[in-house]
């Protein structure tokens, strides 16, 4: 009986850059056929982790395996079955779409008699067949992204790393790419996805790991993550003026609740007793002569869960001014 292999297993993985511990003893595993989201703020260590897993850098501690091959010793073997879409579309500007895919097919050792059919199939799936003879350099950003993904699929990988696949794409291109990613999952491909778009992660991922300052702070399903914030109330206020300068004042009135300034006039308040929050904010509005345009409770989103877990938000009034409940990580 064959043993089922987890496509990715990381055990206490470490990566240092000088004194900076970029990846700090992280452990996780990715199951076969799932889309595993890897989220975190900039500089949290996501890219360092991916670079180790795809063989572009070596771990300095811990153990990892990709498709059962141990890193870094067996990375060359693993690479045969791994596709990688980096955050930048880095194919050759001077080569046509067809030549780029042909080069990748040859590099990965795709049998000669299968090269043409695979290339044609991918170009058709990605809507690029009509432009197959055009140079990559002449493509739009969305088309470049699509061809970069096609290039990563040319050798029919079992595991696909997608680093920020929809960044910089317009809404239509991003939507079509997302549906393509879903199709790939349906075909049984395991996908390791990093994205800045939380809605995208919510929509696509089976499980999500959240990384902060080199550590994985939570791994759960999107629903599981959202449940973390479902127990507390979330109220959003839109003011008629700029309240950013009054953040400290508002924060000091909220008791145990935490407030995040979404922009200069919008504030989201997490936790606390809702009637008391409304009273406090209305009083704040009267005292500072700033009208309230809208107020309402909102359904917790993955973004709320992410903000709560990472301790990040654009501005956290209570914490910054020392009047909040003090989840020290927020900045």
Residues making contact with another protein (CB under 8 A): 54-57, 76-77, 79-80, 82, 84, 86, 88, 90-95, 99, 103-104, 106-109
Residues contacting residue 180 through CB under 8 Å, at least 6 positions apart: 125, 126, 149
Q: Pick between residue 154 and residue 254 the one whose CB is nearest to another protein.
A: 154
- Given the structure tokens 């290339």, which residue do they identify? 119
CB-CB contact of 150 with 126 (8 Å): yes
Parallel/antiparallel/unpaired status of strands 190-194 and 207-212: unpaired
Q: Pick between residue 53 and residue 257 the one whose CB is nearest to another protein.
A: 53
Q: Pick between residue 54 and residue 211 the one whose CB is nearest to another protein.
A: 54
Q: Pick between residue 134 and residue 220 the one whose CB is nearest to another protein.
A: 134
Q: Which one-letter DSSP state was computed for residue 121?
A: H
CB-CB contact of 126 with 85 (8 Å): no
What the block records as the tokens of 293 is 């345009």
Instruction: Tell me the closest approach of the beta carbon of residue 73 to another protein, in angstroms.
Output: 12
Return the H-helix or E-strand segment holding 31: none
For residue 143, CA distances in Å to 140, 160, 228 come to 5, 19, 38
Q: Pick between residue 109 and residue 188 the one whose CB is nearest to another protein.
A: 109
Under DSSP, is residue 51 helix (H, G, I), strand (E, B) or coil? helix
CB-CB contact of 67 with 7 (8 Å): yes
Instruction: Tell me the closest approach of the beta carbon of residue 80 to another protein, in angstroms.
Output: 5
Q: Distance between CA 114 and CA 64 in Å, rounded?
A: 33
Q: Pick between residue 132 and residue 325 the one whose CB is nearest to another protein.
A: 132
Q: Pick between residue 152 and residue 229 the one whose CB is nearest to another protein.
A: 152
Q: Pick between residue 76 and residue 140 the one whose CB is nearest to another protein.
A: 76
Closest CA to 39 of 197, 218, 210, 164: 210
Instruction: Tell me the closest approach of the beta carbon of residue 88 to another protein, in angstroms.
Output: 5
Instruction: Tell me the closest approach of the beta carbon of residue 188 to another protein, in angstroms.
Output: 21
In degrees, rounded to 5, the angle at the alpha carbon of residue 307 between the alpha carbons of residues 303 and 312 is 135
Return the H-helix or E-strand segment holding 192: strand 190-194
Q: Distance between CA 39 and CA 37 in Å, rounded?
A: 6
Q: Pick between residue 70 and residue 213 the one whose CB is nearest to another protein.
A: 70
Instruction: Tell me the closest approach of the beta carbon of residue 51 to another protein, in angstroms.
Output: 9
Instruction: Tell me the closest approach of the beta carbon of residue 30 to another protein, in angstroms.
Output: 18
At residue 62, φ and ψ (nearest 5 deg) are 80, -175
Instruction: Tell me the closest approach of the beta carbon of residue 122 to another protein, in angstroms.
Output: 16
Return the H-helix or E-strand segment holding 150: helix 141-153
Dihedral over Cα of 45, 165, 188, 222: its sign? positive
Instruction: Tell me the closest approach of the beta carbon of residue 238 to another protein, in angstroms.
Output: 42
CA–chain centroid gap for 143, Å, is 21
Instruction: Tell me the closest approach of the beta carbon of residue 193 to another protein, in angstroms.
Output: 17
């Amino acid at each position: 009986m064959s043993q089922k292999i987890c496509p990715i297993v990381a055990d206490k993985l470490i990566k240092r850059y000088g004194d900076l511990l970029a990846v700090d003893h992280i452990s996780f595993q990715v199951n076969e056929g799932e889309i595993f989201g890897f989220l975190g703020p900039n500089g949290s260590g996501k890219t360092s982790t991916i670079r180790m897993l795809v063989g572009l850098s070596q771990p300095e501690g811990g153990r990892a395996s990709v498709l059962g091959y141990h890193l870094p010793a067996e990375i060359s073997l693993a690479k045969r079955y791994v596709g990688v879409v980096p955050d930048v579309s880095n194919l050759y500007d001077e080569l046509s779409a067809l030549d780029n895919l042909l080069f990748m097919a040859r590099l990965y050792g795709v049998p000669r008699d299968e090269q043409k059919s695979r290339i044609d199939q991918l170009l058709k799936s990605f809507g690029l067949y009509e432009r197959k003879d055009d140079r990559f350099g002449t493509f739009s950003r969305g088309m470049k992204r699509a061809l970069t993904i096609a290039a990563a699929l040319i050798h029919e990988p079992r595991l696909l790393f997608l680093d920020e696949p929809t960044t910089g794409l317009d809404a239509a291109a991003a939507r079509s790419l997302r549906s393509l990613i879903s199709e790939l999952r349906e075909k049984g491909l395991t996908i390791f996805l990093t994205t800045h778009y939380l809605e995208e992660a919510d929509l696509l991922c089976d499980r999500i790991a959240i990384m902060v300052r080199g550590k994985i702070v939570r791994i759960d399903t999107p629903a599981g993550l959202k449940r973390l914030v479902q127990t507390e109330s979330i109220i959003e206020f839109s003011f008629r003026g700029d309240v950013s300068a009054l953040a400290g004042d508002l924060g000091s009135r909220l008791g145990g609740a935490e407030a995040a300034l979404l922009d200069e006039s919008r504030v989201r308040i997490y936790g606390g007793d809702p009637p008391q929050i409304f009273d406090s904010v209305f009083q704040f509005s009267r005292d500072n002569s700033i009208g309230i345009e809208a107020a309402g409770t909102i359904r917790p989103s993955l973004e709320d869960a992410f903000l709560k877990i990472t301790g990040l938000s654009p501005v956290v009034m209570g914490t910054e001014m020392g009047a909040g409940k003090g989840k020290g990580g927020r900045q």
